Amino acid sequence: MNSKIAYSRNDSSDYHYKKLRSLVNDRLKELPSGRRENIKILAVLLPFLYIALYITALSQIDDIPTFYSLYCLMGIVIVFTFLSVIHETVHGNLSNNSAATKGILYFLDLLGANSYIWKKRHVTMHHNFPNIRGWDTDIQQSGIIKIYPHGEPSGYQRYQHIFFIFLYPLYLLNWVFIRDMKDFFSEDRLIQKTIKIPHTERIKMLIFKGIYVFYMLVVPIMLGLPVIHAFLALVSMLILAGVFALVSLLTPHANIKNEFPLPDDTQSIPSGWFLHQFQTTNDISVNNWVTRNLMGNFNYHLAHHLFPNISCAYAPEVTEVIRNYAKENDLPYRTYPLLTALKYHFLLLKQNAQPEDIFEEDM
Ligand SMILES: [Zn+2]
Ligand SMILES: [Zn+2]
């Protein structure tokens, strides 16, 4: 599993990609170029709002319910910032100014998640190898839940469709305090296959984790908040933000309707890159002010995978072109309402909890 995998070259895939790309470019020419500016405004407003909520929370140390509420609101702002600004930045779509890009990525570090390793996980691994076991680090998760259909579930995984409900809320707690550490320090992590982590990044990661714990936990305690409330407010915030983030992040890939292709004997993915994106990614059928303006049109996920360098501000129109092209050319474009996608995710957990039948491929 460790040698590099590649997509099979496929003339029809290349043809479809070039044709679709030119149709998308034609459509983009008709759209207002100023939409990206709105995201730049958000890149200032959302961090400002986060800091304002934090300072207000510190001024409400004596009013514990208000303190909790403000911390939870910070959790919501984190997810909006992550989806609409940080994700856009990591793909190089927000700004050509490298200082602005660095500043936004440092903001992610201040939110407790290491930006260096997330960029590698998301851009290098998830975007290049969506839904491929052993390569897609976004789907790797903690290893407790079996997302991939291949192989046997271990003892406790046979109950994963029951206990996931207690585990998923811990998603961000795990990310901030465990997952980043493992990626930096544990040699069996997927990310370590492709990069050699510089020593300075390790030091930066530890410093930012320290800053995060200091301002989120220690400062309120120093100002007089009881330790138990400081701790529970942070956990509540990370649980709320974690559930919100997971609903957005899991539904476009990890469900029973999507494929989880394996490389063949020559370490290549037979369907080719273009078709692989359709087989492993679905859209979520929502389109409202919040998803458009605060969630980076993340639900138009196939458009993002096919054209990660086109700003998310244009994803609805890009999707329209993809959908029409897919219909004309018999490509498996799929979109599901949110609740249906969540149900399909649950069915995937349930299916993967069952022992494999003996005729299935032995991995
Ligand atoms: Zn992305
Ligand atoms: Zn994705």
State in Å: Cα 341 to ligand 1 middle: 19
State in Å: Cα 120 to ligand 1 middle: 11
Question: How many domains, in total, are found in the chain?
Answer: 1
How far the first Cα of the chain sits from its last, in Å, is 11
Rounded to whole angstroms, how far apart are CA atoms 93 and 296? 12
pTM above 0.85, yes or no: yes
State in Å: Cα 77 to ligand 2 middle: 21
Mean pLDDT, range 272-297, rounded to an integer? 95
Q: What is the pLDDT of residues 259-268, one digit of tens each?
A: 999 988 888 9
Q: What is the pLDDT of residues 192-246, one digit of tens each?
A: 777 888 999 999 999 999 999 999 999 999 999 999 999 999 999 999 999 999 9
State in Å: Cα 14 to ligand 1 middle: 22
Token couple for 32: 């207002």
State in Å: Cα 89 to ligand 1 middle: 10
pLDDT given for residue 362 in this prediction: 41
Mean pLDDT across the chain, nearest whole number?
92
Per DSSP, the residues of 25-43 read HHHHHTS-TTHHHHHHHHH
Do 356 and 158 meet the contact criterion of CB atoms below 8 Å apart? no
pLDDT given for residue 161 in this prediction: 92
State in Å: Cα 252 to ligand 2 middle: 7
State in Å: Cα 91 to ligand 1 middle: 7
Handedness of CA 200, 202, 203, 205 (dihedral sign): positive
pLDDT band at 360 (very low <50, low <70, confident <90, very high): very low
Do 304 and 298 meet the contact criterion of CB atoms below 8 Å apart? yes
Range name among 132-146, 178-192, 193-207 with the lowest pLDDT average: 132-146
Judged by its nearest atom, the ligand closest to the C-alpha of residue 299 is 2
In a domain, 327, yes or no: yes
Judged by its nearest atom, the ligand closest to the C-alpha of residue 308 is 1
pLDDT given for residue 177 in this prediction: 96
In a domain, 208, yes or no: yes
Q: Outline where the chain has alpha helix (H).
A: 11-29, 35-59, 64-81, 87-90, 98-110, 115-119, 137-140, 160-167, 171-174, 180-185, 199-213, 219-222, 227-250, 273-280, 289-293, 301-306, 315-329, 338-353
In a domain, 192, yes or no: yes
State in Å: Cα 266 to ligand 1 middle: 28
Q: What is the pLDDT of residues 165-174, one digit of tens each?
A: 999 999 999 9
Look up the domain containing 85 and give its range.
Answer: 6-353
Rounded to whole angstroms, how far apart are CA atoms 335 and 299? 9
In a domain, 121, yes or no: yes
Q: What residues contact residue 317 under an 8 Å CB cut-off, 6+ apart?
A: 27, 28, 31
pLDDT band at 96 (very low <50, low <70, confident <90, very high): confident
Judged by its nearest atom, the ligand closest to the C-alpha of residue 83 is 1
In a domain, 362, yes or no: no
pLDDT given for residue 3 in this prediction: 63
In a domain, 276, yes or no: yes
Mean pLDDT, range 319-346, rounded to an integer? 97
φ, ψ of residue 78 to 5 degrees: the values are -60, -45
User: Does residue 363 surpass a pLDDT of 80?
Assistant: no
* Closest C-alpha to 307, from 91, 117, 134: 91
pLDDT given for residue 142 in this prediction: 59
Q: What is the pLDDT of residues 103-126, one digit of tens each?
A: 999 999 999 999 999 999 999 889
User: Does residue 358 surpass a pLDDT of 80?
Assistant: no
Mean pLDDT, range 29-56, rounded to an integer? 94
Share of the chain above pLDDT 90, in %: 76
* Closest C-alpha to 352, from 121, 130, 128, 133: 133
State in Å: Cα 80 to ligand 1 middle: 15
State in Å: Cα 224 to ligand 2 middle: 42
In a domain, 360, yes or no: no
In a domain, 61, yes or no: yes
pLDDT given for residue 355 in this prediction: 83
State in Å: Cα 126 to ligand 2 middle: 7
pLDDT given for residue 260 in this prediction: 93
Q: Outline where 111-152 has alpha helix (H).
A: 115-119, 137-140
Mean pLDDT, range 26-38, rounded to an integer? 92
